[in-house]
């Protein structure tokens, strides 16, 4: 057991009410990790409280307990645990609400697994950001195993969901040999992976209007750099209309990556206030996502990352700069070139 693990256990043991926090971009890893911790902390006789400043997207509603996530911090709590995020960039709504100071007044634990992170959470007492882990859920599993704590079947189901979410069903290079061993341990313990997949598929089915919208996104997609970079732009009106039904990013991005020759898929979202966000995903063999996002003050993994720009620069310029830098990063990966990060 390492020192940080001991410190986490000591903080949790002494606490009564514990807030489990997700960032403003919840996904299967963040929600699965949060729900797993809720179950584990509850089994310890504590009072867990789930918080996220935004609504849980519909495609995550197959995870039982999603509706327990609240959009307001409680008035009293002893410690907080932030999952799947270690940068203040992802907590814009919390900062704007004026509640950040209240959160900072109590001990804070950060559990994450992203490679590249800027603007670290300044008030965190303990931060574990282990990029060797395929997901934050996997990190939680390892911490609990080190503590020799029991992990209920329910918590293991949530952890497996988090791993499957970030590894795209164990299909990308985030999944290590250790990830497969952990998956096997959970299956041996009784987790039914096919059942989890059936639940995900059932609630991931798209309404007819989303099916038609997907065709529109495909039609608006563009290929750059000799077909190695695919992009699509989602403007504010489409975000307002379709995001409550289905996140446009996951709706189109896998299809972009399935296009012959595409190495990187970028979904840009543009907002009326000038904000621009980008979700970046890469195919195996093209691990540039973290470096690309970091160049634009974002962060993430080698194969999945994102950034947000709110500096007044025109969207067309941001898009052009992003494509140009992605092209440079891909060129660095070509045989015979220097593989050092640009």
Strand-pairing partners, residue 87, are: 120
Considering only 42-56, 128-142, 190-204, 249-263, which range has the smallest mean pLDDT?
190-204
Flag whether 41 is in a domain.
yes
- Of 298, 323, 316, the residue nearest 90 (C-alpha): 298
Q: What is the pLDDT of residue 92?
A: 84
Domain C-terminal end among 201, 228, 250:
201
Is residue 82 situated within a structural domain? yes
Q: How many CA atoms lie within 13 A of 331 on its CB side?
A: 9
Whether residue 24 is found in the same domain as residue 110: yes
Whether residue 325 sits in one domain with residue 226 = yes
Last residue of a domain, one of 174, 201, 228: 201
Same domain for 143 and 231?
no
Q: Is residue 312 exposed (0-12), middle (13-18) or buried (19+ Cβ within 10 Å)? A: exposed
- 3-state SS assignment for residue 222: strand
pLDDT in tens, 225-284: 999 999 999 999 999 999 888 889 889 998 999 999 999 999 999 999 999 999 999 998
Same domain, 154 and 294: no
DSSP string, 125-153: SEEEE-TTSSSHHHHHHHHHHHTT----H
Q: Is residue 340 part of a domain?
A: no
Per-residue pLDDT for 159 more than 90? yes
Q: In this structure, are strands 229-235 and 222-224 parallel, antiparallel, or unpaired?
A: antiparallel
The reply to whether 338 falls in a domain is: no
CB 289 within 8 A of CB 302: yes
CATH number (domain holding residue 134)? 3.90.1640.10
Number of domains comprising the chain: 2
- Do 150 and 252 lie in one domain? The reply is no
* Residues 133 and 240 both lie in one domain: no
Residue 116: band (very low, low, confident or very high) from pLDDT cuts 50, 70, 90: low
Domain membership flag for residue 301: yes
Residues 67 and 132 grouped into a single domain: yes
Segment 207-231 shows an average pLDDT of: 96
Contact 257, 265 (CB under 8 A): yes
Rounded Cα gap, residues 162 and 133, in angstroms:
11
Q: Evaluate if residue 144 carries a pLDDT over 50.
A: yes
pLDDT at 198: 86
Tens of pLDDT, residues 63-109: 999 999 999 999 899 999 999 998 887 888 888 888 888 888 999 99
Identify the residue with better confidence: 121 or 300: 121
pLDDT of 340 higher than 60 = no
Among 111, 221, 120, 107, CA closest to 162: 111
Q: Could you tell me which of 222, 282, 280, 277 has the C-alpha nearest to residue 257?
A: 282
Give the structural domain span for 235.
Answer: 208-332
If asked whether residues 234 and 293 sit together in one domain, one would say yes
Q: What is the 3-state secondary structure (H, E, C) of 243-259?
A: CCCCCHHHHHHHHHHCC
46 falls within a domain: yes
Q: What is the mean pLDDT of residues 188-201?
A: 90
Last residue of a domain, one of 183, 201, 219: 201
In the chain, the percentage of residues whose pLDDT exceeds 70 is 96
Q: pLDDT for 9-48, tens place per residue?
A: 999 999 999 999 999 989 999 999 999 999 999 999 999 9
161 Cβ contact partners less than 8 Å away, ≥ 6 residues apart: 28, 32, 63, 137, 196, 200
CA dihedral 103, 109, 113, 117 (to 10 degrees): 50
Query: What pLDDT does 93 receive?
Result: 86
pLDDT band at 137 (very low <50, low <70, confident <90, very high): very high
pLDDT score of 37: 98
Closest CA to 50 of 40, 59, 58: 40
- Tell me: do 142 and 37 sit in the same domain: yes
Sheet holding 126-129, edge to edge: 47-51, 17-21, 79-83, 108-112, 126-129
Within a domain: 222 = yes
- For residues 184 and 150, membership in a common domain is answered with yes
Q: What is the CATH number of the domain that holds 278?
A: 3.10.310.30
Please determine, for residue 339, whether its predicted confidence score (pLDDT) is greater than 60.
no
Q: 311: which 2 tokens?
A: 């500096």
Q: Does some domain include residue 342? A: no
Helix, strand, or coil (residue 92): helix
- Shared domain for 212 and 194, answered yes or no, is no
DSSP line for 112-125:
E--SB--SB-TT-S
Q: Are residues 75 and 132 in the same domain?
A: yes
Nearest to 35 by CA among 54, 61, 11, 74: 61
The pTM for the full model equals: 0.82
Q: 145 — alpha (psi -120 to 50), left (phi > 0) or beta?
A: alpha
């Amino acid at each position: 057991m390492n020192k940080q693990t001991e410190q986490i256990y000591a903080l949790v043991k002494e606490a009564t009410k514990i807030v489990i926090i997700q960032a403003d971009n919840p996904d299967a890893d963040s929600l699965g990790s949060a729900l797993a911790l809720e179950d584990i902390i509850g089994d310890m006789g504590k009072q867990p409280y789930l918080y996220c400043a935004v609504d849980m997207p519909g495609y995550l509603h197959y995870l039982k307990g999603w509706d327990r996530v609240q959009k307001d911090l409680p008035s009293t709590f002893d410690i907080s645990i932030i999952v799947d995020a270690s940068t203040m960039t992802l907590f814009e709504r919390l900062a704007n609400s004026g509640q950040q100071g209240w959160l900072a007044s109590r001990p804070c634990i950060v559990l994450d697994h992203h490679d590249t992170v800027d603007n670290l959470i300044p008030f965190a007492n303990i931060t574990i950001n282990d990029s060797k882990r395929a997901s934050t859920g996997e990190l939680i599993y390892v911490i609990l195993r080190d503590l020799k704590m029991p992990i209920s079947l329910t918590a293991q189901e949530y952890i497996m969901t988090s791993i499957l979410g970030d590894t795209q069903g164990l299909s990308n290079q985030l999944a290590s040999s250790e990830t497969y061993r952990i998956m096997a341990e959970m299956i041996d313990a009784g987790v039914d992976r096919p059942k989890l997949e059936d639940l995900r598929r059932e609630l991931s089915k798209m309404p007819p209007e989303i099916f038609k919208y997907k065709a529109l996104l495909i039609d608006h997609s563009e290929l750059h750099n000799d077909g190695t970079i695919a992009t699509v732009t989602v403007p504010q009106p489409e975000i307002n209309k379709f995001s409550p039904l289905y996140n446009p990013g996951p709706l189109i991005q896998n299809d972009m990556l399935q296009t012959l020759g595409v190495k990187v898929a970028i979904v840009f979202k543009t907002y009326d206030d000038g904000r621009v966000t980008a979700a970046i995903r890469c195919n195996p063999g093209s691990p540039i996502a973290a470096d690309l996002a970091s160049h634009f003050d974002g962060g993430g993994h080698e194969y999945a990352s994102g950034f947000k720009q709110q500096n007044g620069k025109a969207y067309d310029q941001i898009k052009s700069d992003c494509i140009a830098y992605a092209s440079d990063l891909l060129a660095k990966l070509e045989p015979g070139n220097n593989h050092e990060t640009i």
